[in-house]
Amino acid sequence: MDTEAVRSFVRAAELGQVRHAADELGVSQQAVSKRIAALERALGVRLFVRTPRGVELTLDGQAFLPHARTIVTGADRAVAAVRPGSRALRIDVLGLRSAQAVVLHEYWRSRPGTELDVVTLRSDDPQDAVAAVRAGEVDASFRAVTEPAALPPDVRMVHVLDSALELLVGPRHPLASARTLTPDRLRGHRIWVPGIAPRTEWGEFYDQLATAFGLRVDGTGPNFGNEVLLDALADSAGLATLVGARDRYLWPAGHDLRRIPIAGPALAYPLFLILPRTGPHPGLRAVIRHFRSLAPLPGPVWRPSWARRRSTNPPVGDPR
């Protein structure tokens, strides 16, 4: 069914004049009449009776009008859903308690009425995130491709924030009383990060971190979720893990877990956004600007190799 013909019918019925409907729709009176005539032929009924004052609905026209309004409204909503700037910005995050999601939530709260759709792709492979961006399934993804040659030319990767790592331990751990720690003091301690997936940015991150500081990062065992990990830390005198300073973790008061900042240097987990190189969603500019407005990490900072290669932030509109 021709939606413009239905729209012409609705406006003529509401205004009572074909001429007035034509003026509002920006077409000729003849064009509106032809559309309505074609609609009547398609439906096999007469919708209007012409009178000296204009047009009046037939009984069939009266029955069709509420449904025709629904068709026009649906068509307008469908167009608005994909019009640049009208559709909600859709962003993939690694987890809803991650630093990415926490900062994104702060951004949303600071801008009441902002349309934002936050999702988590069920894949550890960053190339799946790249494919989702290229296919338009998401507008951007908080993932990173660590090898520049593996990034397709029609997408780009933008560094938006460094997330500082902290050591998380139970009350009986040897480092539990420390106010701050240097990376060197973590040597010899078991840092358990269960479920590290191969070929992921975080797998590469922990490999480089362990090599740089001689740390024992243990990725063995399945990841049964944060609650199981937090229970294990609370019950252990030798187990530790690394968490982002902005990551959101909740545990029972009886666990008495300790989050200890790491400095000298700080350990930075770099947050990147993967987005289309051309025609990105207009809402991304404000999101990137918000992330980059946050205070940088103080003092010396260690970053993995792919973040050092991209250590400078081009302007938000820069195509790099």
Tens digit of pLDDT for each residue in 138-174? 999 999 999 988 999 999 999 999 999 999 999 999 9
pLDDT in tens, 263-279: 999 999 999 999 999 98
Predicted pLDDT at 85: 59
**83 confidence band (pLDDT: 50, 70, 90):** low
pLDDT bin (cut points 50, 70, 90) of residue 24 is confident
Both structure tokens of 154:
């029609």
What is the structure's pLDDT at 122? Answer: 83
Contacts of 216 (CB under 8 A, 6+ apart): 187, 188, 189, 190, 191, 210
Cα–Cα distance for residue pair 312/232, rounded to 1 Å: 39
**Residue pair 302/205 in contact by the 8 Å Cβ criterion:** no
